Amino acid sequence: MIRHAVAPPTRSAAQREANEPLPDKSAPLGRFCHKDRIKMLRTPPPVWLQCGHHRLDLSYPRVMGILNVTPDSFSDGGRHVATDDALRHAERMLAEGAAIIDVGGESTRPGAEQISPQQELDRVAPVVERLVRELDALVSVDTSSALVMRETAELGAGMINDVRSLEGEGALAAASASGLPVCLMHRQGEPRDMQLAPRYDVPVEQAVFDYLRARIAACEAQGLHRERLLIDPGFGFGKTVEHNLRLLNRMQELAALDLPLLVGMSRKSMIGKVLGRPVEERLAGGLALASLAVERGARILRVHDVGPVMDAVNMTWAVLEEGGVHE
């Protein structure tokens, strides 16, 4: 099935009354639809996240396409620096089924140095503006900068994705004032040194849980309510391969935080080290991890290879929803 990005259809009065999800071309199980109808009897009621003027349904897993506009990202640095190139790549990801485009202007790969907020803004602002204006895309901005949060929210961004969990100067206040949902991610250290010798005094899943719980509490104390929060375990951010594997295997324990779970493992070194594959040969390993993440509760998968991951999500969700899908 070819997936196309389409404008949200109009909700009928009956649909509004029943809170029935809108038809969505990026939804899983599309190939099982009969006359564009999906019935998932065992799926819980829809979980909606208001992202600017977009309303994101998280009652099933969604795919977030990565759009790096940096010269030095670990996988695709330099490929989408020009705004037109970035726009075309975003169009491809939307056509393949991405529900969100995650735009990043600062590399957070291991060993990367921070850049100035203004330099980051100069990279991402033109891309965000055109994605919103020309494609009406739901844009997430991958940033820790208060300046970038404020300015891109004004340009129409619908989500903030912060690897530093709003610990940067002014970030919590800026995110709260934006009105946008925010993803809080666990990390140990900073990108420049986080992979030198990561270690934990407690099991890694407990460390991640405790950190995220503390950051959620800090956000709520400043008026950023949990209805606007998502969480990310932070695979590869201050973690060995063993830490990453254990964390994924026990990821269901984060469900106690009762927030949507965003996961990013696409092309990461954990795949390369386990399989002995260079970055350009990590798709198969990434698809396996994507399926495992969905099984363990992930609701957003942040990936480079949208089309193949959509197929993996569709197939995994079909198995998980067995008995609740009817042609």
Write out the catalytic residue numbers.
268, 302
- Nearest 5 degrees, angle CA 189-CA 235-CA 262? 115
H or E stretch at 270? helix 269-275
Contacts 24+ apart (CB under 8 A), 161-168: 161/102, 161/185, 161/232, 161/262, 161/302, 163/108, 163/187, 163/232, 163/234, 163/237, 165/211, 165/212, 165/215, 166/215, 166/218, 166/219, 166/224, 167/215, 168/144
Q: How far is Cα 292 from Cα 122, in angstroms, rounded to an integer?
A: 37
Closest CA to 180 of 55, 3, 7, 12: 55
Q: Is 311 helix (H, G, I), strand (E, B) or coil?
A: helix
Q: Is 307 helix (H, G, I), strand (E, B) or coil?
A: helix
Q: Which bin fits 291, alpha (ψ -120 to 50), beta or left (φ > 0)?
A: alpha
Contacts 24+ apart (CB under 8 A), 4-13: 4/95, 5/91, 5/94, 5/95, 5/98, 5/135, 5/137, 7/136, 8/54, 8/55
Q: How far is Cα 105 from Cα 68, in angstroms, rounded to an integer?
A: 6
Half-sphere exposure of 61 (CA within 13 A, CB side): 32
The bridge status of strand 100-104 relative to strand 54-57 is unpaired
Q: How far is Cα 21 from Cα 9, in angstroms, rounded to an integer?
A: 11
